[in-house]
Structure 1
Amino acid sequence: MTTGPLRIVRVANFVTPVSGGLRTALRHLGAGYRAAGHTPVLVVPGERRTVEEQEQGLVVTLPGPLLPGSGGYRLLADRRAVAAELERLAPDRLEVSDRTTLRWTGAWARRHGVRAAMVSHESAVGVLRTWGVHGCVAAAAADRLNARTARSYDTVICTTDWAAAEFRRLGVRNLARAPLGVDLAALGPQAAADRAAERARYAAPGQVLLVLCSRLAPEKHPALALDALAALRSAGVEAVLAVAGTGPLRSRLAARAARERLPVHLLGHLAGRADVARLLGCADVVLAPGPVETFGLAALEALACGTPVAVNRGSALPELIGTAGVAAAPTGAGFAEAVRELLARPEPARRAAARARAERYGWPAAVAAFLAAHGTAPVTAR
């Protein structure tokens, strides 16, 4: 275990000003590393090179091309430029958040004597299936990718047992479990009057307010939220849906809502954390249909706000939410049934259970677990 301060350089793709969970996790981990006495640096792609000091530490943006059809994601595609930046930064630890296009950084770290970790943020087989690769072909390709990832890095950090399972079945030994967290101070239950005032913006008295807080991209399966809304309304439940987030599927979802006359409020990206908290907190149920997340920060944020969640039973989220939500079959009918089950619980009880579950996942514990995976610990409390 290293006891002195370290320069922890983190490299990530698929981060934009309007992206969600990964950007949030990187920000909180960086701020936590810094508060623990280490020097965090984050390298991400963007339109042009910038260097900015933030609460999470130094953030270096390198030019990267747009990924077609991704809704704004860019990639760190210039290996020479990234390698030169890493050499300039001289990390003591390397933390990488993309096991596809950035896996080469593991070899770079080995050549330079730097201990390196890859963070598993999504199920490899789930992502491949989203891209149209099916069955045993997706499983075999995921196994090859995961085996190569494990060989390339000193440590593979998995945020849930569900995430670790696809590595454990290959006999991978260099795994570390480190959960993510939620900002329990910034996100909390609202007073009843404030909650009523906020929900009145989206739902009439007596209606059920559903909320989806997600990037509107194929791997997140946002159409399942509309499927659930349609199923509930067909069953006589007066439900409405508010959607926070943007992405390549936004126009398709808007067209469907108009065509089927579904009451859907497409709110776009909510930049303010207070705006997100108010929306999550005023919902009756938050939907989390994504099948490939290995943790699910949006669902955890909903729980922190005192709102139960209906989650895709094929994801890591059932492990996360426990009895504070319901694991749904990945169909509109399945999510509609989960919503009805949650609504059948007394509101004070379901809101209290949601908050209590979230309180198991504070960021200080997450930061400590990530530092332990890097073979270090807090140096000082600032």
Structure 2
Amino acid sequence: MRIVQVANFYGPRSGGLRTAVDELGTGYVRRGHHVTLIVPGPVAANEVLASGVVRVTVPAPVLPFTGGYRAARFASVAAVAASAAPDVIEVSDRLTLRRMGVWARERDVGSVMIAHERLDRLLGQVLPRAVAQTLADVANRATARDYDKVVCTTAFAAEEFDRIGASNLCRVPLGVDLEVFHPERRSAALRDLARRGAEHLLIHCGRLSVEKHVHRSVDAVALLRDSGISVRLLIVGDGPVMRKLKRRAEGLPVDFAGYLGSRAEVAALMASSDVALAPGPHETFGLAALEALATGTPVVVSQRSALSEIVRAESGALAPDTAMGVAQAILAVLDLPAAQRRSLARERAEQFSWPHAVDGMLAAFVG
């Protein structure tokens, strides 16, 4: 089968979306399929990745206020897709490239849209809830109509499509690299270096953008410090709210590592931490949190996000969407026996694999 993957907002420093697209593409190639990945970039390029995926970069402008993300124009992407003569297209962009579904149908090409975000939640950050939901419903009806299948990774992600009665939904959980993200990467020396004399090391890993609510991790540390709890927070990642976060964290036991290009380095920091934080209420899956679990590090997550479906009480905690709620959840996790919480965190992550995700996507392609 000839598969074309299409993804805007895919760049050198992309987070979960890039990981998902790359891992799925690699899995398709391993199953004997031919994969072309079309992404935006500064200049045109055509390369064969080590995985066997053919990655075609389409020149695209930088979108303002996004921290460097680019979005290729529909016409440019459609032209490359046509040259690849696909049997099916997988689109990881429900906004700027939504028309790819109609394009595919006109050419008798199968089409699948992966909903990587909750549109109603994103719109709800700038619009009244009722307005955001109405606009999201209109857009989601068009998406469900235009694509053969809409793939959601969790029940949380599927809620807005269930609300409009979409009948072409598929549930396909994503996976985690259980070899790169492994408890054996835990290092006492690295932990001592990172915690800088504090008793407990916390880590927040991911893109520093508004919807991730990284400020809640910072504010929770402030509350813990004021309560006499010795913690240090390491924030790994970059993004448009970096400067605001640094100002907010002044005088607090918070360090910023910036973007780290080495997955092994990120895995080692995760494994060497005591608790990972993912307080964003809009996560539709939360790959960074799952990667932390895979290293044996329990996770504190928002009780309103999809991570509430993934994190179990034995391997982390669900927190209300307040700094106090996050702080209390951190303390609850730290009260669990360390060996037990680390073992159960890894055990939970092992229930999510990329081969299983690939199976689910391939079933959606032919179903």
TM bucket (normalised to shorter chain) is over 0.9
Task: Measure how far apart 1:23 and its partner are.
Answer: 0.8
Q: Give, as a single letter, the amino acid of the residue that structure 1 aligns with 2:134.
A: A
In the other structure, the counterpart of 2:357 is: 366
Alignment partner of 1:90 is 2:85: yes
SS of residue in 1 equivalent to 2:117? coil
Provide the rounded CA distance (Å) in 2 between the counterparts of 1:188 and 1:134: 42
Task: Measure how far apart 1:127 and its partner are.
Answer: 1.0
In the other structure, the counterpart of 2:292 is: 302
Aligned residues: 365
In the other structure, the counterpart of 1:202 is: 194
Q: Give, as a single letter, the amino acid of the residue that structure 1 aligns with 2:248.
A: R
Deviates more, 1:162-171 or 1:32-41: 162-171
Q: Return the match for 1:341 from 332, 337, 341.
A: 332
In the alignment, structure 1 segments of 5+ residues that lack a partner are: 1-5, 377-382
Which of 1 and 2 has higher RCO (CA within 8 Å, sep 6+)?
1
In the other structure, the counterpart of 2:176 is: 182
Alignment partner of 1:39 is 2:34: yes
Task: Measure how far apart 1:206 and its partner are.
Answer: 5.2
Alignment partner of 1:256 is 2:248: yes
In the other structure, the counterpart of 1:3 is: none
Alignment partner of 1:64 is 2:60: yes
Task: Measure how far apart 1:284 and its partner are.
Answer: 0.7
Q: Return the match for 1:49 from 40, 44, 47.
A: 44
Alignment partner of 1:322 is 2:317: no
Task: Measure how far apart 1:223 and its partner are.
Answer: 0.8
Provide the rounded CA distance (Å) in 2 between the counterparts of 1:112 and 1:300: 38
Provide the rounded CA distance (Å) in 2 between the counterparts of 1:289 and 1:72: 23
Task: Measure how far apart 1:204 and its partner are.
Answer: 3.8
Provide the rounded CA distance (Å) in 1 between the counterparts of 2:75 and 2:115: 24
Q: Give, as a single letter, the amino acid of the residue that structure 2 aligns with 1:41.
A: T
In the other structure, the counterpart of 2:127 is: 133
Q: Give, as a single letter, the amino acid of the residue that structure 1 aligns with 2:268.
A: R
Provide the rounded CA distance (Å) in 2 between the counterparts of 1:81 and 1:241: 43
In the other structure, the counterpart of 1:380 is: none
- Contact 1:214–1:246 (8 Å) recurs in 2: yes
Task: Measure how far apart 1:190 and its partner are.
Answer: 2.7
After TM superposition, the score normalised by the length of structure 2 is: 0.97
In the other structure, the counterpart of 1:280 is: 270
Provide the rounded CA distance (Å) in 2 between the counterparts of 1:316 and 1:128: 17
Q: Give, as a single letter, the amino acid of the residue that structure 1 aligns with 2:176.
A: V
In the other structure, the counterpart of 1:148 is: 142
Task: Measure how far apart 1:93 and its partner are.
Answer: 0.4
- Contact 1:31–1:55 (8 Å) recurs in 2: no
Provide the rounded CA distance (Å) in 1 between the counterparts of 2:258 and 2:293: 21
- Contact 2:198–2:231 (8 Å) recurs in 1: no
SS of residue in 1 equivalent to 2:111? strand
In the other structure, the counterpart of 2:223 is: 231
Alignment partner of 1:104 is 2:99: yes
Task: Measure how far apart 1:31 and its partner are.
Answer: 0.6
In the other structure, the counterpart of 1:379 is: none
Task: Measure how far apart 1:143 and its partner are.
Answer: 1.0
In the other structure, the counterpart of 1:120 is: 115
Kindly report the root-mean-square deviation, in angstroms, between the aligned alpha carbons of the 2 structures: 1.2
- Contact 1:326–1:338 (8 Å) recurs in 2: yes
Alignment partner of 1:162 is 2:156: yes
Query: 4+ runs of 1 displaced by more than 3 Å?
Result: none
Provide the rounded CA distance (Å) in 1 between the counterparts of 2:28 and 2:54: 12
Q: Give, as a single letter, the amino acid of the residue that structure 1 aligns with 2:59.
A: P
Q: Give, as a single letter, the amino acid of the residue that structure 1 aligns with 2:127.
A: V
In the other structure, the counterpart of 2:203 is: 211
Task: Measure how far apart 1:205 and its partner are.
Answer: 4.8
Task: Measure how far apart 1:145 and its partner are.
Answer: 1.2
Cα deviation digits, residues 107-144 of structure 1 (max 9, x gap) = 100111101010011111111123x1121011111111
- Contact 1:290–1:315 (8 Å) recurs in 2: yes
Q: Give, as a single letter, the amino acid of the residue that structure 2 aligns with 1:158.
A: C
Provide the rounded CA distance (Å) in 1 between the counterparts of 2:268 and 2:22: 21
In the other structure, the counterpart of 2:167 is: 173
Provide the rounded CA distance (Å) in 2 between the counterparts of 1:69 and 1:61: 22
After TM superposition, the score normalised by the length of structure 1 is: 0.93
